[in-house]
Each structure stands twice: as C-alpha cells, then as structure tokens.
C-alpha cells in the first residue's frame, strides 16, 4: 500500500476521463472524477481476474449501472492495459471501442451494456444469482464476487426497488455495490428530487449498508473488507463523493460539487480544463499519458493478478481430476450448449391451450436441462411455468439447489435479472408473465437484444380472449410491438429477437425447440390462455410437419394451384382451417392455409420458399387477433388482413370472438367478400 501512488493513480484516472470528454466535446466528466478513488482501490486490490484471459469463467465481475460514467471505466481499464491511448482519444467516435455508454466487451473488461439507469444494478443481481446457482452445484469454484457501481439516478429508478428487494431476500452476499453518492444530478441537485434515507431503505431490504468518505482510501478498503467478510447479506457501500473532484478555475480556485460538471466538458464550465489537468499532476501537452509511477505500479498489480489466477487454475485442475463427471457437466453448462433433447417425446393433451403445452415442455426441461433458471412475476400458476416448478424448487436464501425464481410482481426487474444471468454464463434464463405485461419488460428486452443474450420469454394470455379480465389485460398492440424487434438487426447483423406464436400444442413443442437452439438472440414465446383445436396432420406425423415452423412459416393445409392462401399465427390458424373446410365444401374453392409463426424468420428464407407458401400475385387473406400490421408485411399489394383496431372489452372469450368477428363463420364471410372484391 502506497498512499502517494494510490492518490496519483486516482488523479491519473480523473485526468484521463476529463481529457476524453474534452476531446470528444461530449460526455460526463464530473462523476468519473468522483468515482476514481473507489475504482482504483477496487481493481488493484480486490477484483480477481486473469489479465491474460479476461473472459476466464471464474473471474470476479464488475457491473456498471451508470453507463454515462464510461470515461471512468475506460480510464481505469487503460491503466490495466485493456485499452490503447488511441482508444481513449477516439472516445464516442464512429468505429471506436470506447462508445458513449459502455457496450459488452468482456475481453476489455466491460461485462454489460449500460445506459438506461437501474438495469445495470439488476443485471449485477442476476449475475450474483447465477454464481450462487453454479456454486451450489460445483462447490468452491464459483465463489467469486459480483461488484456493482450505481449513482443517484440508478437508485431513484423504480427498478432498483425490485433489484434491492430480491437481492436482500435471497441473501446475495456475493454482491457488493458501490453507491457513488455525490448529491448532484444531471439537471439539479439531489435534494431537489428526494429526501429518502437510502441507507435505511436498503437495510429494510436486508442489505448490509456501510457509509464512507468515498475519497478516503482506507475507508474504501475497510468497507470492502467488511463486505467480503459478510456471509448473510449483499452489501451497499455508500461512498460520499464530490462531483468533479479536483476541478479548479482559471485562477486555481477549487470548483467542485457543481451540477454543471456532470454532463459537459470541463472547458464548457466555470472550471478550467488546463488548470485542472495541472492540479491533477497531468501534463496538458500529453493529457492521455499514464503517469510513469502509476504505470510501474499497475505492471506489478497485473503480475499479482496473473499469479493469483494461475494458482486458482491449478486448484480447478485438481478439482477436475477428483470430479470427472462434475467437470464434464460444468463444461457443458459453460459451453452454452444443451444436452440431447427430444421434444417430440413430450406428450401433449389434445386441443390444449398453448400455455398448457408450454407447461408440458417445461416439465420435461426441468428433468433434462440442469442449468436452467425459470422465473415468473407472481403468475406461475397462470403462465403455467409451474410445470417446471413442480419438478424443481424455489431458489431461497442459503439454498440455491433449486431452479425457480419467484420474482414477485416485478416484470422489468425480473427481465433485467435474466440479462445478468445470461451475461454471467453457465445458466439459461427463462422469464414469464402475461403478454400484455411485456410492456413493463420492454426496456430489458431491448437491452437483451442489443447485448445478443439468449434469454427466453414466456408470454401467455396472448389475445383479447383473456376475456373477463377486460382491456387492461387483453394484449392488442403488444404483438406488433414485439415483432418490430424482429425487424431490427443487432450489431452482428442478425434479427435482434425471435418472436414465436405457435398455432397449437405440437407447434408449441417445436417453438420451444427453436427457442432453446437460438443461442444468439432473445426468443419470445407468445401463448394462448384458451384451448386451441389441434392442427390435423397432413401425413403421418404432426410433429415432423410442425418442424417446418423453423423456417418461420409453412403450410398446415396444402393443395395444388390454390385459389387463395389464408395466413395467420397462433389460435387464428385453427379458425382459418375451419373456414377453409367450410368454403371448400360450400363454394368449391381450393384453399391453402399457412401458419406464420415468425415473420422475421420467414423473411430470412429464400424468395422461392416464401412464394411456395404465399404465392406472389395471388389472393392472400390474413387473420390476426392483434393489429392488422402483424400480417400486413406478408400479404403483398392486393392481400387483405382482418385484425383489431380497438381495445378489448370485459366478457367471456367466446362472446368476444363473436362480437369481434373471430369465428370461422365470420372468417368465411370476410374471405368471400375479399374474393368478390378482387374478381
């Protein structure tokens, strides 16, 4: 421990952070200056990682909540050798590896994409849950720590309540979060916004709370030591810090703790950029330099980190020799691959609701996939994730042998936690709620799509057929909103999310198979509350025919040279099949019916395949229980879609079907009218 070096290193981080923002003429310097002391002590003395293998599975993790403090992270990781000087100089520029808010880049130390406040906090909780889950199965190997960093805005975001409650309830003593409490927000001082006692709030949730001077290195060490020794609770370290620590004016007078230092370059405030660099012992002629003494110190630190991780690797190797079967299982978990599964063997009840069909699959997965955590927002007996729960048990404080997380009524928190589980690795997260409440989940779904995380969403009660619960619980626009994500490419150039609305129980089994095999993006399963008539097999195996859903769409009823093609997904497919049978008998029409489980996936197929399902220039009629836009991208110039343009009403599902025109008889009338109009 060298007080001079520690102070110099923290000031070096400050100088680098303000220089990045100054050169980019964009960013957030003040908070980075305030958090520099904690970051330096944390990374040099506490965080365990292997500098030669930054993605080492047994490393500690650091989850940043306050993504606007990216300059703090990049500066710290520059000292650790993860970034080059040129990277910092290109902060927030096109093509740089130092974007305005940090984006997952594990090899450089960035564990999560952050920006929307509060979600980084919850992702850290998710990673801590994943580590506890794995530690319960591989004792002594996943006892690493998950560190978090949050600011006033993140604490205020509503999601922090859910994350704080769950972390405390589960006793996540492996989660240690630093709260950079500087009393300054982007547009105001904190006391203009809140008067709550944050420490008491977290204590009420069951956290160990320590309040310190966030610039006192001895207090930081003492708090981290206490957090490491805590065996029963997560720890919140409230560090009282100063916004813009070290800033001075042109006259050399201190200018700290001011609101304007939060979100713009130092040179655009009453502080002076050059004089502040000098005050921080930096050279204004070379502001992106690592101080010589700091560079020497960090070289020693990195050697210590490498030596410590090498020792743990020897221990892991020894464990593997003593536990060959567990070792093989652990490798399978960490690979992200699945064991051999046969979802065609899952027995589905006739004419089942697709939520019940999903339940049957989940029961099978509970017995065959050992590294899956399923979570429900207080709806397991309605979204039918209890199919999994009945074969497993609930995760509890001091007992992570189970695999079901009762999240409570906290859809956004639950979904962000799932992102953290996926980011940690080794565990497959599944989350469930009613489809209408996907609205609450959307910010975390978006981050899952951006981070390319294979989270599985189970959304049940997928249409107005929820019935008596009325318009607040009947999804009308939700499918359109989710399918927009199918139209957005992620940075790998892939469809950012896969949305699947299966037409019957067997297709639900296939949809689950598709979801499990999709390891590159999140997948949503959109499932019915009400029973759906089974799609009859055209040949000998309905399951084999349903595997054509892997192309996004296929014919469930096929004939040569059809007069018209009917398209739908979900329960409307069965309605159109009934209508087709009626019209073929009564009007001597030749009709094809297609189940388009995913428009995005269907449009990734060859043009010839798409046109073999939906012929170009021919009559196409679509039926959807949501907005017509759900199918309008598939029908061509002369096609027609019947959907809803209004919210639902409270009444039994069968009554709503009749009132809204979603019976086979109504469909027949609409189809005949469409044909007549296009003669």
pLDDT in tens, 310-336: 999 999 999 999 999 999 999 999 999
Rounded to whole angstroms, how far apart are CA atoms 277 and 196?
A: 36
Instruction: Determine contact, residues 458/431, Cβ cutoff 8 Å.
Output: yes
Contact 481, 457 (CB under 8 A): no
Instruction: State residue 24's pLDDT score.
Output: 97
- DSSP code per residue over 17-55: HHHHHHHHT-S-HHHHHHHHHHHHHHHHHT----TT-TT
631-640: long-range pairs with CB below 8 Å, 24+? 631/567, 631/568, 631/596, 631/599, 633/599, 633/603, 634/567, 634/596, 634/599, 634/602, 635/567, 638/678, 640/674
The pLDDT tens digits for 330-364 are 999 999 999 999 999 999 999 999 999 999 999 99
pLDDT in tens, 63-85: 999 999 999 999 999 999 999 99
Angle at CA 395, nearest 5°, toward 392 and 398? 125
Residue 400 parent element (H or E)? none
Q: What's the mean pLDDT when you consider all of the chain?
A: 97
Of 589, 552, 575, 576, whose CA–CA distance to 675 is shortest? 589
Distance CA 675, CA 679 (A): 6
Three-class DSSP category at 568? strand
CB 366 within 8 A of CB 373: no
pTM over 0.75: yes
Average the pLDDT over 482-507 and give the result. 97
Query: Residue 559: how many CA atoms within 13 Å on its side-chain side?
Result: 16
Give tens-digit pLDDT for 608-617: 999 999 999 9
pLDDT band at 181 (very low <50, low <70, confident <90, very high): very high
Q: What are the φ and ψ backbone dihedral angles of 102, each rounded to 5 degrees?
A: -65, 140
Query: What is residue 1's predicted lDDT score, i.e. its pLDDT?
Result: 61
pLDDT at residue 61 in the model:
98
Q: Is 624 exposed, middle or buried (0-12, 13-18, 19+ CB in 10 A)?
A: buried
Sheet with 404-406, strands from edge to edge, namely 404-406, 372-376, 428-434, 456-460, 523-526, 498-500
Output the pLDDT for position 627.
Answer: 98
Q: What is the mean pLDDT of residues 616-630?
A: 96
DSSP collapsed to 3 states, 322-359: HCHHHHHHHHHHHHCCCCCCCHHHCCCCCCCCHHHHHH
- The two counts, helices (H) then strands (E), for the chain are 25, 16
How do residues 539-578 score in pLDDT, each as one tens digit? Answer: 889 999 999 999 999 999 999 999 999 999 999 999 999 9
* Interval 508-517 mean pLDDT: 98
Rounded CA-CA distance 552/544 in Å is 15
491 has a pLDDT exceeding 90: yes
Task: Give the N- to C-terminal CA distance of the chain in Å, as an integer.
Answer: 87
- Which two tokens mark 120? 């980084």
Structure tokens at 663: 């019976």
Query: Please, which residues bridge with residue 500 across strands?
Result: 525
Provide the b/e sequence for 22-61 (b: ≥16 CB within 10 Å): bbbeebbbbbbbbbbbbbbbbbbbbbebbbeebeebbbbb
pLDDT for position 188:
84
**Does residue 546 contact residue 507 with C-beta atoms inside 8 Å?**
yes
Residue 150: pLDDT above 70? yes
Q: How far apart are CA 373 and CA 276, in angstroms?
A: 50
| Residue 548 CA: distances (Å) to CA of 222, 294, 329 | 60, 60, 32
**Catalytic sites, residue numbers:** 411
Q: What gap in Å lies between CA 114 and CA 66, rounded to an integer?
A: 7
Query: How far from chain centre, in Å, is Cα 623?
Result: 31
- Mean pLDDT confidence for 25-33: 96
Provide the b/e sequence for 239-256 (b: ≥16 CB within 10 Å): bbbbbbbbbbeeeeeebb
The predicted-structure confidence for 390-415, as pLDDT tens digits, reads as follows 999 999 999 999 999 999 999 999 99
Phi (first) and psi of residue 444, to 5 degrees: -80, -30
pLDDT exceeds cutoff 90 at 189: no
Eight-class DSSP state of 157: S
Residue 375 structure tokens? 């979570």
Residue-wise pLDDT tens digits, 657-677: 999 999 999 999 999 999 999
The pLDDT assigned to 645 comes to 96
- Confidence bin at 425 (pLDDT 50/70/90): very high
Q: What are the C-alpha distances in Å from 400 to residues 56, 132, 224, 409, 411?
A: 23, 6, 25, 21, 21
CA dist 369 and 329 (Å) reads 11
pLDDT-derived band at 679 (thresholds 50, 70, 90) equals: confident
pLDDT digits (tens, 9 = 90+) for 105-117: 999 999 999 999 9
> Residue 592 in 3-state DSSP?
strand
Segment 371-399 mean pLDDT? 97
User: Which of 479, 485, 413, 422 shows the shortest CA–CA distance to 456?
Assistant: 422
Look at the alpha carbons of 136, 142, 145, 147 in this order and tell me if their dihedral is positive or negative.
negative
């Amino acid at each position: 421990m060298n007080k001079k070096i520690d102070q110099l290193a923290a000031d070096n981080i400050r100088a680098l952070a303000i220089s990045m923002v100054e050169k980019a003429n964009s960013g957030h310097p003040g908070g980075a200056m305030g958090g520099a002391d904690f970051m330096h002590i944390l990374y040099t003395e506490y965080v365990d990682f292997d500098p030669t293998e930054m993605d080492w599975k047994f490393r500690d993790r650091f989850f940043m909540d306050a993504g606007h403090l990216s300059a703090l992270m990049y500066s710290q990781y520059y000292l650790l050798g993860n970034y080059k000087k040129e990277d910092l100089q290109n902060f927030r520029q096109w093509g740089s590896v130092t974007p305005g808010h940090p984006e997952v880049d594990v090899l450089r130390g960035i564990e999560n994409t952050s920006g929307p406040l509060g979600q980084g906090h919850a992702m850290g909780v998710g990673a801590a849950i994943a580590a506890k889950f794995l530690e319960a199965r591989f004792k002594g190997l996943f006892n690493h720590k998950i560190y978090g960093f949050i600011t006033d805005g993140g604490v205020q975001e509503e999601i922090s309540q859910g994350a704080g409650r769950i972390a405390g309830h589960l006793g996540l003593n492996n989660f240690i979060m630093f709260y950079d409490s500087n009393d300054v927000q982007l547009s105001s001082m904190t006391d203009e916004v809140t008067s709550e006692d944050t420490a008491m709030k977290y204590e009420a949730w069951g956290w160990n709370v320590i309040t310190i001077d966030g610039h006192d290195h001895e207090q930081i060490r003492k708090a981290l030591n206490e957090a490491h020794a805590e065996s029963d609770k997560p720890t919140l370290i409230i560090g009282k810090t100063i916004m813009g620590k070290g800033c001075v004016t042109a006259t050399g007078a201190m200018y700290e703790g001011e609101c304007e230092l939060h979100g713009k370059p130092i040179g655009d405030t009453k502080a002076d950029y050059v004089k502040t660099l000098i005050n921080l012992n930096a050279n204004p002629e070379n502001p992106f330099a690592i101080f010589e003494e700091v560079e020497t110190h960090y070289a020693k630190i990195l050697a210590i980190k490498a030596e410590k991780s090498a020792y743990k690797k020897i221990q892991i190797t020894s464990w593997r020799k003593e536990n060959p079967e567990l070792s093989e299982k652990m490798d399978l978990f960490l690979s992200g691959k699945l064991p051999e599964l046969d979802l065609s063997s899952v027995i589905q009840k006739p004419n089942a609701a697709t939520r019940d069909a999903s339940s049957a699959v989940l029961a099978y997965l509970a017995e065959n996939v050992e590294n899956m955590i399923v979570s429900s927002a207080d709806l397991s007996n309605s979204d039918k994730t209890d199919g999994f729960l009945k074969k497993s048990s609930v995760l509890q404080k001091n007992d992570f042998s189970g695999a079901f997380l009762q999240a409570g009524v906290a859809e956004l928190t639950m979904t962000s936690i799932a992102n953290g589980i996926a980011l940690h690795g080794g565990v497959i997260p599944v989350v469930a709620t009613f489809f209408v409440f996907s609205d609450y989940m959307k910010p975390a779904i978006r981050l899952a799509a951006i981070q390319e995380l294979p989270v599985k969403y189970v959304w049940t009660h997928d249409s107005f057929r929820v019935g008596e619960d009325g318009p607040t619980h009947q999804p009308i626009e939700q499918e359109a909103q989710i399918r927009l994500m199918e139209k957005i490419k992620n940075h790998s150039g892939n469809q950012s999310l896969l949305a699947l609305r299966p037409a019957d129980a067997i297709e639900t089994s296939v949809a689950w198979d598709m979801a499990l095999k999709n390891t590159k993006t999140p997948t949503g399963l959109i499932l019915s509350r009400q029973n759906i008539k089974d799609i009859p097999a055209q040949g000998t195996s309905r399951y084999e025919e349903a595997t054509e859903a892997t192309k996004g769409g296929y014919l469930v009823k096929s004939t040569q040279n059809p007069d018209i093609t009917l398209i739908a997904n979900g329960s409307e497919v069965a309605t159109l099949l009934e209508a087709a049978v009626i019209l073929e008998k009564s009007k001597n029409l030749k009709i094809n019916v297609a189940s388009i489980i995913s428009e995005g996936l269907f449009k990734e197929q060859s043009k010839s395949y798409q046109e073999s399902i939906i012929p170009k220039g021919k009559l196409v009629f679509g039926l959807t229980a949501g907005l017509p836009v759900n199918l309008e991208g598939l029908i061509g110039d002369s096609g027609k879609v019947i959907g809803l343009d209004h919210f639902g009403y409270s009444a039994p599902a069968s009554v709503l079907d009749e009132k809204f025109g979603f019976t086979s008889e109504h469909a027949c009338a609409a189809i005949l009218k469409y044909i007549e109009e296009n003669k």
